[in-house]
Structure 1
Amino acid sequence: MRRKILYPAVILGITLVAGNLYLIEKADSKVDRSSFIDEWKPVSSASLRNSIEKEAVLSSSQEEYVYYDESRGTFKEFLVQEGDDISVGTDLFTYQVEDTVNQEVYLESEIQQFEDEIDSIKDHIVDLRTLRPSSSTTTRRTNTFDDRYGAPVNTEEQQDYSIEAANKEINYYVEQEIARKELEIEQLNSKIENLERQITQLQLNETDITVSSTTEGIVKKMARELDNPLIVISSKSSLVQGELSEQETLKITEGQEAVIYSTAVQDRIKGFVTDVAVLPSETLTEDGSSTYPFQVEFEEGEENLDALRPGFHVSLSVITEEALDVLNVPSESLLTEGIKNYLLVITDKGTVEKREVTVGMTSEGRVEVRSGIEKGEIYIQDPDSMDLPGSTFVTPLKIDKLTLNSIKNADRHTILENLLLGILERK
């Protein structure tokens, strides 16, 4: 008797289960489906960076060469020694002039040449200032979420991060170039003052002419045999020199920012790439590949540079790619189909939307999102666990959030409202 009841009941149960599974999995089924979402997060913004780490050495940022033309007169004596710390105007050597008239004409022609160079540099500075980009921003609508219901609320936010970042970068490089050109003008003016002093000596009928330094630094080398350059002056400021691999030269270019680290100073020091050699170094690496010299200069105003000396070894990080304050998501949150990328977005209607997005750079597991989603919108962090875009969704009950204090602090209206929503809301 029991078997007569048991067998039909088992068959009926299997039939019901199979029928329901068929209806659920059937294409275009009318059966309501829900997705279970365990992890979700609002879209946020941050700065993304990619960099190349290198080891390098400090060297003098500049060397000034002082020449002696024996046709101008007879050399008398050096007034400095190797290793001397000198400044602008320090007397370097003297020579005796025999033909004062011709020497004065020669010095005046040199002054005119330097003045022409200054005029040319000033014209170049004017051209550089016209390259400064005008500040421009675009308005983009973004979403914030209502605290109680998570519904998106549109707000206006001024942002076009890529254009703004590019404008700042261009302006920075222009200002750096202008500063270098202004320094060249200062050096040329120092040379003019030096020549004018020599002319004054000639006009006073002095035949012993003194040549002074037009730059500050340290006397690195002196040619006792009177070969040229007669004196080499190394600047006190340092720059970073290193070698790049063949692949690294494709990523590192002039103007890129760099961060320098040294055991001689505690703080990191900012700089920028000023030169990447086109030709390789003469020596090859152990595996036979070429390397290319590059150099990095320190930013103006950086402190603790006095503690750094030529020959010190440093580490540096060259920023090869950067996106400032951009929307970004974890790379595993993206769904990729061919060349298209998607995010699963939770809409204010309580459904899951598969939305196409445009992506940018990738850094440390995060991807820049350039368009398709707005700040504050909620996306699903693990889309691989979802296969029902467009469906409603359920989330796990977080018991740790359901405390006695939270229940006591909730007002009666909120409790009643959520209770009725739970009972009466239909999917």
Structure 2
Amino acid sequence: MKRRNIIITLAILFAAVNSLLVYLDKEDRVPRLSYVEEWSQTFEEDLYVELETPGVLTALTQKNVYFDEDRGSFGEFLVNSNDKVDVGDGLFTYKAHDYYETKSYLENEVSKLNSQVAAIEQAITDISLYSIPEAEVTTELESEDSTLVIANESAEADYRKEQYLAEKNKELALKEAELQSLQTQLSELETSGDIITVESPYEGIVTEVSESLNDPLLTIRDTELKAEGELTESERMKVQQEMPVEVIVREDGSVLDGTVQEVSQSPEDVTVEGTSTYPLQVGLAEGSDIEGLLPGYHTTMAITLKKAVGATAVMDDEVYNKRIWEMTPEGKLDKQKIETGIHVNGMYEITKGAESGQWIAAEENSQFRDGAPFITPVQLDNIQWKHLGNYDNVSWKKYFVTGLLSR
């Protein structure tokens, strides 16, 4: 019993002396081992910060067709409400009051449209031949009714150039359709002497037919769709034009890609105590599958505010005061400073200080020290027991003896 008490006393004294030595070791002469119980890796991830807001599908455009009673007497409608019409389809007829006066009017309108078509074609040619300068230069290209400003060689400038061309080509197609309609009316007048058929310059669905002959006589909505919604004051501060948007149709779950086309600079209503809301318009990507979708279908719009594709990421609970504990291949802990970017879904984007695939301690511990050796628990579940000792060309006996001698 006396011997047992002596052994216990010596063990306690040994532990106390070692603890005191470690505590008093200000110059790190005594190596301190860190025990890492949980660990993980930094990884590659696509990170997105999104803002979700309700929306509704609407027609991209809605065009009105008018009838000038001074030109003649209304004849008959050639279409009904909900009819689909193509460019060149007859909409209605009328009888001209005065042949020569109507002919002169139509010829003048044809001349105006020819001039407009020529101006648009010239604008398209000018911008198509224009190359984005390498140096940072601001350039303005003017057409008859619009101005394009190109800031520099950036991708944004290329995008704006393509967007401008797309808009001009749509405008050209519309003017050419109007010109064709007037030329057909003029030809029909010269043939019949007084009966004229007004053709549709638009493709779409007839939504309104004025049986009372009040203007607009007809309303035709575009078959193309867009999404509309509203933003609160705080949301308005975050959203900008050209941000990517996913438009999710609530009824069938279909997803349409789009971009923020316009965010109003003015709220719908201004009140002192109320909440201001700002109209939002989202254009759908060209070629979007909108078959079966109609104006009025409700959606959820997910606007991408920020994104980091292929970013190095880490779980946020593994970051400690902008630092991570890297487990180096040399078997030591490295308290590594990092810079972070996007924070979403419990993950941080690492913009500087670490790369994907680094092993890190998953839980900080008070006994962690920068540069200290570390040990980890054996994960028995990961050991392939049936393969132990079955390694070809490996002398496990040699390494076993070497290990004993090195202790």
- Equivalents in 1 of 2:402, 2:183: separation in Å? 92
- Where does 1:191-206 land on structure 2 (aligned, <5 Å)? 191-204=178-191, 206=193
Q: Which residue of 2 aligns with 1:313?
A: 298
- Equivalents in 2 of 1:242, 1:421: separation in Å? 73
Runs of 4+ in 1 over 6 A off after TM superposition: 5-11, 167-173
- Equivalents in 1 of 2:14, 2:73: separation in Å? 116
Query: Aligned match of 2:307 in 322, 325, 330?
Result: 322
In terms of mean alpha carbon deviation, does 355-364 or 371-380 score higher? Answer: 371-380
Residue identity in the other structure for 1:376: G
CA distance change for structure 1 residues 119 and 400 in 2, over 3 Å: closer, same or farther? same
CA distance change for structure 1 residues 212 and 404 in 2, over 3 Å: closer, same or farther? same
2:252 counterpart of 1:265: yes
Instruction: Report % sequence identity.
Output: 27
2:284 counterpart of 1:298: yes
CA distance change for structure 1 residues 226 and 114 in 2, over 3 Å: closer, same or farther? farther
Deviation of residue 366 (structure 1)?
Answer: 0.8
Q: Which residue of 1 aligns with 2:394?
A: 413
2:41 counterpart of 1:42: yes
Q: Normalised by the size of structure 1, how large is the TM-score?
A: 0.78
SS at the partner of 1:218?
A: strand
Query: Aligned match of 1:404 in 382, 385, 390?
Result: 385
C-alpha contact (below 8 Å) 1:265/1:307 kept by paired residues: no
CA distance change for structure 1 residues 293 and 103 in 2, over 3 Å: closer, same or farther? same
Aligned residues: 384
CA distance change for structure 1 residues 117 and 362 in 2, over 3 Å: closer, same or farther? farther
- Equivalents in 2 of 1:359, 1:218: separation in Å? 51
CA distance change for structure 1 residues 10 and 383 in 2, over 3 Å: closer, same or farther? closer
CA distance change for structure 1 residues 87 and 376 in 2, over 3 Å: closer, same or farther? same
- Where does 1:47-66 land on structure 2 (aligned, <5 Å)? 47-66=46-65
SS at the partner of 1:348?
A: coil
CA distance change for structure 1 residues 324 and 421 in 2, over 3 Å: closer, same or farther? farther
Deviation of residue 192 (structure 1)?
Answer: 1.8
Deviation of residue 68 (structure 1)?
Answer: 3.2
Residues 376-404 of structure 1: CA distance to partner in whole angstroms, max 9, x if unpaired? 33222223566301111111112223343
Deviation of residue 289 (structure 1)?
Answer: 0.7
C-alpha contact (below 8 Å) 1:241/1:293 kept by paired residues: yes
Deviation of residue 179 (structure 1)?
Answer: 3.5
- Equivalents in 2 of 1:328, 1:414: separation in Å? 40
Deviation of residue 188 (structure 1)?
Answer: 1.9
C-alpha contact (below 8 Å) 1:47/1:326 kept by paired residues: yes
- Equivalents in 2 of 1:256, 1:69: separation in Å? 43
- Where does 1:316-395 land on structure 2 (aligned, <5 Å)? 316-336=301-321, 341-384=322-365, 387-395=368-376
Deviation of residue 302 (structure 1)?
Answer: 2.5
C-alpha contact (below 8 Å) 2:231/2:277 kept by paired residues: yes
2:176 counterpart of 1:189: yes
Q: Which residue of 1 aligns with 2:146?
A: none
C-alpha contact (below 8 Å) 1:131/1:174 kept by paired residues: no
Residue identity in the other structure for 2:85: I
Residue identity in the other structure for 1:239: K
C-alpha contact (below 8 Å) 1:264/1:308 kept by paired residues: no
Structure 2 unpaired stretches of 5+: 135-153
Q: Normalised by the size of structure 2, how large is the TM-score?
A: 0.81
- Where does 1:244-259 land on structure 2 (aligned, <5 Å)? 244-259=231-246
- Equivalents in 1 of 2:130, 2:220: separation in Å? 30
Residues 295-352 of structure 1: CA distance to partner in whole angstroms, max 9, x if unpaired? 223222232x22111122222322221111111111122222xxxx222222232221
In terms of mean alpha carbon deviation, does 349-358 or 409-418 score higher? Answer: 409-418
- Equivalents in 1 of 2:194, 2:42: separation in Å? 79
